[in-house]
Chains A and B, each alone.
Chain A
Amino acid sequence: KAGVTQTPRYLIKTRGQQVTLSCSPISGHRSVSWYQQTPGQGLQFLFEYFSETQRNKGNFPGRFSGRQFSNSRSEMNVSTLELGDSALYLCASSPGQVNQPQHFGDGTRLSIL
């Protein structure tokens, strides 16, 4: 099976812009979660989608949003970018049940200038 694919791998934006990141999960996986990883805060949960519905959301401002399509592919959007949004954004997919591991993509490295 192909793994989780995230595009693009690297992105450079300036403050105030918006960005859309894409994630293609493993075939058959219905759950997609997004995480932000920074040196200071570590790995933080953004949100999880299951069958096109947001099931859970982390403690991030409304500038961070996401969606999931009928083929389970997911996108996350960050509007009005701030310097502090510079991070590695990781997407993970799973079948969506509790005792199943998540499978991560290699992430999108977002740099804000």
Chain B
Amino acid sequence: SQQGEEDPQALSIQEGENATMNCSYKTSINNLQWYRQNSGRGLVHLILIRSNEREKHSGRLRVTLDTSKKSSSLLITASRAADTASYFCATVFNSGAGSYQLTFGKGTKLSVIP
């Protein structure tokens, strides 16, 4: 079953605006990762945030993690048309035997209008 649940399912904004996507999960995690997927392509890793971290930045991306609320958010600032894609959060927990399985949510479909 999906552990991560993104909110909203779809988001449409104007170029230059900020986009915020949220992710909630159910069990304890080692880390949480955000990925982007353009239509018909594979997933591209954006940011990994460990369970003992609260905030992380990468360029125009800012990710927060609140383990007490079991939630994370991804903020994309000054959005561009090229940011149009689906965004997924994935939680990682120790599934035994040293294996660290990614469990994905269903994603947020972001449309950035030029």
Contact = CB atoms under 8 A, between A and B. Distances in A.
Interface of A: 4, 6, 33, 35, 42-45, 48, 50, 55-56, 58, 90, 92, 96-107, 109
- The residue in B42, B45, B102 that gathers the most chain A C-beta atoms within 10 A of its C-beta is B42
Contacts of A96: 98
Interface in B100-114: 100-107
What is the interface residue range for chain B against chain A?
A: 20 to 34
Interface stretch (B10-18, B60-68, B70-78, B89-97): B89-97
B41 interface: yes
B34 to A, nearest CB: 10
12 contacts: A35-B102, A44-B104, A45-B103, A48-B101, A56-B95, A58-B101, A98-B30, A98-B100, A99-B30, A99-B50, A101-B33, A107-B41
Interface of B: 2, 30-31, 33, 35, 40-45, 48, 50, 88, 92, 94-107
A59 to B, nearest CB: 9
A55 B101 CA distance: 10
Given A48-B101, A97-B100, A101-B33, 13 more contacts: A4-B42, A35-B102, A50-B98, A55-B97, A56-B95, A56-B99, A96-B98, A99-B48, A102-B45, A103-B45, A104-B45, A105-B42, A106-B40
The A contact surface, by secondary structure, is strand
B41 A106 contact: yes
Contacts of B2: 42
A104 B105 contact: no
Contacts of A6: 42
Contacts of A58: 101
Contact of A99 (B31, B40, B45): B31
